[in-house]
């Protein structure tokens, strides 16, 4: 099933999947009573990027997969207006419609890259009471702002003439070995981006938005809910030794943190390993967060 959510940035396509009757565990709740899970993808990309792990998630949860404006089946009448803060408003509107039309008032949120940033903003904003837990996969929002990072976001990846040449090589790096069908399909979609002016404009607008003055989290340490932080050791976009270390330092002390032998999208590169960590957390977030899957590494004092 699909639904369309009108927003100021465009009509947003959301795939809606309920647990399959034949796959539910004995005694588990039926589709209407199953826990809810919202999936938010990276830039560029669309909800299909999660297809390798979607069956396992949809077996257990009412799963809602968003296509950001201009990507997948979503529209973006004015692609240059799409910014990370606008994605937060889009996700808030999706939560409102899920509550109004589907009775979903509590939801876990899983987000990768800019989707992870939006997940954090949902948990610290006016819809915070609706968010039960976060799975943050190499999230944006933890890069230290410098003149260099702002220039790169605005003038390199934020300019179509330059980004057109870089977006495909960058995707080849952040998707890792392309050892799974889902990773290869995601890469094939990215390869079409330089030839799609509207999608390229959205991609560049989101990159420019990363340098906007209003981009950023209010206080990550104040997030009051269970969090699982997954980070690929070989991520070339938001490196684990910089952004990942900063995220572990800024997020609440109870955050469960795992480093994975992957690049930027572990659910594409190593779906089984990804699910091995995510499913137990979603099943019992507070228990997993309490025991801390792996103590976060601390920088050595030199």
DSSP string of 166-179, one letter each residue? HHHHHHHHHTTT--
Whether omega before 44 lies within 30 degrees of 0, making that bond cis, reads yes
Cα gap 68→46, rounded to integer Å: 7
Q: Which two tokens stand for residue 292?
A: 């801390």
Q: Is the pLDDT of residue 193 over 70?
A: yes
For every residue of 115-162, DSSP letters joined together read: HHHHHHHHHHSTTGGGEEEEEEES-SS-SPP-HHHHHIIIIITTSHHH
Cα gap 85→216, rounded to integer Å: 9
Q: What pLDDT score was predicted for residue 34?
A: 82
Condensed to tens digits (0 to 9), the pLDDT of residues 111-166 reads: 999 999 999 999 999 999 999 999 999 999 999 999 999 999 999 999 999 999 99
Q: What's the mean pLDDT when you consider all of the chain?
A: 92
Q: What pLDDT score was predicted for residue 292?
A: 54
CA dist list (Å): 132 to 138, 168, 179, 195, 283: 20, 36, 33, 40, 12
Q: Indicate the pairing of strand 227-232 with strand 256-260.
A: parallel
| Residues 179, 242 contacting (CB under 8 angstroms) | no
* Alpha-carbon dihedral angle through residues 189, 193, 195, 200, given to the nearest 10 degrees: 160
Radius of gyration of the chain from its Cα atoms, rounded to whole angstroms: 18
Q: What pLDDT score was predicted for residue 23?
A: 43
Angle (CA) 237-240-243 rounded to 5° is 70
Q: How confident is the model at residue 33 (pLDDT cuts 50, 70, 90)?
A: low
Q: How confident is the model at residue 179 (pLDDT cuts 50, 70, 90)?
A: very high
Q: How confident is the model at residue 98 (pLDDT cuts 50, 70, 90)?
A: very high
Task: Count Cβ atoms below 10 Å from residue 31 Cβ, excluding itself.
Answer: 12
Angle (CA) 63-69-74 rounded to 5° is 65
90: Cβ contacts below 8 Å, ≥ 6 apart: 5, 7, 9, 12, 66, 68, 69
| Coil, helix or strand at residue 201 | helix
Condensed to tens digits (0 to 9), the pLDDT of residues 205-261 reads: 999 999 999 899 999 999 999 999 999 999 999 999 999 999 999 999 999 999 999
Q: What pLDDT score was predicted for residue 2?
A: 92
Q: Is the pLDDT of residue 286 over 60?
A: yes
Q: Is 297 left (phi over 0), alpha (psi -120 to 50) or beta?
A: beta
Considering the chain, what percentage of its residues have pLDDT values greater than 90? 87
Q: How confident is the model at residue 289 (pLDDT cuts 50, 70, 90)?
A: low
Considering the chain, what percentage of its residues have pLDDT values greater than 70? 91
Q: What pLDDT score was predicted for residue 18?
A: 84
Buried-exposed string 258-270: b where 16+ CB fall within 10 A, e elsewhere? bbbebbbbbbbbb
Q: What pLDDT score was predicted for residue 243?
A: 97
């Amino acid at each position: 099933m699909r639904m369309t959510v009108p927003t100021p940035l465009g009509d947003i396509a959301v795939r809606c999947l309920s647990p399959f009757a034949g796959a539910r565990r004995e005694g588990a709740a039926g589709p209407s009573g199953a826990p809810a899970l919202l999936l938010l993808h990276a830039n560029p990309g669309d909800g299909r990027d999660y297809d390798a792990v979607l069956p396992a998630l949809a077996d257990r949860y009412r799963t809602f997969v968003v296509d950001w404006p201009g990507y997948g089946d979503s529209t973006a009448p004015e692609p240059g207006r799409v910014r990370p803060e606008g994605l937060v408003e889009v996700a808030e509107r999706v939560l409102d419609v899920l509550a109004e039309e589907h009775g979903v008032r509590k939801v876990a949120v899983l987000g990768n890259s800019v989707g992870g940033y939006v997940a954090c903003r949902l948990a610290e904003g006016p819809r915070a009471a609706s968010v039960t837990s976060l799975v943050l996969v190499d999230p944006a929002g933890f890069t230290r702002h410098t003149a260099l990072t702002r220039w790169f976001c605005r003038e390199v990846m934020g300019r179509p003439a330059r980004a057109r040449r870089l977006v495909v090589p960058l995707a080849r790096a952040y998707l890792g070995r392309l050892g799974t069908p889902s990773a290869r399909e995601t890469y094939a979609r990215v390869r079409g981006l330089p030839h799609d002016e509207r999608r390229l404009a959205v991609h560049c607008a989101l990159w420019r938005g990363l340098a906007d003055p209003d981009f950023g989290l209010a206080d990550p340490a104040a997030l009051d809910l269970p969090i699982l932080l997954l980070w690929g050791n070989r991520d070339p976009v938001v490196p684990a030794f910089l952004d990942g270390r900063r995220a572990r330092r800024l997020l609440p002390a109870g955050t469960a943190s795992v480093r994975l032998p992957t690049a930027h999208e572990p659910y594409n590169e190593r779906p089984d390993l990804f699910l091995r960590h995510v499913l137990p957390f979603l099943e019992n977030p507070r228990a997993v967060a309490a025991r801390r899957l792996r103590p976060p590494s601390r920088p050595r004092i030199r």
